[in-house]
Amino acid sequence: MRFGMHLSPVSGPQRGHAIGCKALQIFCGNPRGWAKSPQDPQRVQAFRRDVAEAQLDPVVVHATYLINLAAPEAQTYKLSVETFLDELRRAHALGAAFYVVHCGSHKGQGEAEGRRRLSDALRRADREVPQRPEILLENTVGTAHSLGTTFEDLRILLDDAGVARAGVCLDTCHLLAAGYEIRTREAAAHMLDEADRVLSLKRLRCLHVNDSKGGLGSRLDRHEHLGKGEIGEDGFKALFSDRRLWHLPAILETPLDKPDDDRINLWKAVELAVSVGAAEPLLLAQMPTGPVEAIEPKSRGISAHRVRGVRRVPKQSRVARSKGKKAR
């Protein structure tokens, strides 16, 4: 499994590299606002260069939260679809392989109507943005009126749209909260059997690896630190032990309560994966075991320069550096 994290589009490649990411997820713009300034070609170039230097693959873009491709209100729907198409273009410019979007909410207008609007939006993407990342629909916890909670629902949405290069991203927190048991080897295998039977595992292209504050079937969308929630360390080990997941990018969207939480959660995920053969032990050996200095967005010019400077240091001394930090 190639583990990565959701990080800032500005400092993400450098931070990701520093904490041991092999993949990266970002928002392309403010996730809670509609307005976006035009993409700065220089920034795009810098991002792509940083991603290449850090060997992050794949890059995943997560859609802005405001987008609701099943929205019944004409104005919200129009804005959602326009933003969706714009973000697909931006994501392509950034070199993203995948664009993850939630299936949206029909707000009580009925599933059929919501599904129709979503598939119209997906078909527009096919027509209007031929050069784009693969669109992945993310499963949800199943609050009222939301689409995409069950494998059946995701299959109908994809089949209805019938677009090329579209698949699914499964979020472990959302699976559990929606009522899919994944915390024993048998349960995880059964869940994947179901996903394969209903949806086809060929369509499963990415995982979101998050622990869950809510229990099985709680419908609570609250992510928890890896191993500290209802899924727990044993739950993740059971899930990761299934070989059908080993080729997938696995992105963490865990809370950042303290500055070093991203590194700690990533380390924990890789440790659990290594313990069941889902990741190379060498991967863990190369990861820093102590705090890694945060890259301050405000002084990113200076910090970024410093971090890039670090990268030019031969590998050996880089390991020594992080070991030194552990001792501190």
Which residues of the chain form contacts with Zn ion (CB under 5 A)?
A: 138, 171, 208
Give the separation between CA 43 and CA 37, rounded to whole angstroms.
Answer: 12
Asked if 106 is an active-site residue, the reply is: no
Q: How far apart are CB 293 and Zn ion at their closest, in Å? A: 27
Q: What's the longest Cα–Cα distance across the chain?
A: 60
Beta-sheet pairing, 204-208 with 249-252: parallel
Residue located via tokens 């009222």: 144
- Written as six digits, the tokens of 317 are 């001394």
Q: How far apart are CB 172 and Zn ion at their closest, in Å? A: 9
Buried b (16+ CB within 10 A) or exposed e, 80-99: bbebbbbbbbbbbbbbbbbb
User: Do the beta carbons of residue 60 and residue 97 sit within 8 Å?
Assistant: yes
Asked if 181 is an active-site residue, the reply is: no
User: Do the beta carbons of residue 59 and residue 45 sit within 8 Å?
Assistant: no
Q: How far apart are CB 281 and Zn ion at their closest, in Å? A: 27
Give the separation between CA 211 and CA 270, rounded to whole angstroms.
Answer: 14
List the catalytic residue out of 87, 153, 221, 230.
221
List the catalytic residue out of 50, 87, 138, 230.
138
Asked if 190 is an active-site residue, the reply is: no
Asked if 208 is an active-site residue, the reply is: yes
Asked if 102 is an active-site residue, the reply is: yes
Q: How far apart are CB 2 and Zn ion at their closest, in Å? A: 16
Pick 50 or 138: Cβ nearer Zn ion: 138
List the catalytic residue out of 223, 224, 230, 271.
223
Asked if 32 is an active-site residue, the reply is: yes
Active site residues: 32, 62, 65, 102, 138, 171, 174, 208, 221, 223, 253
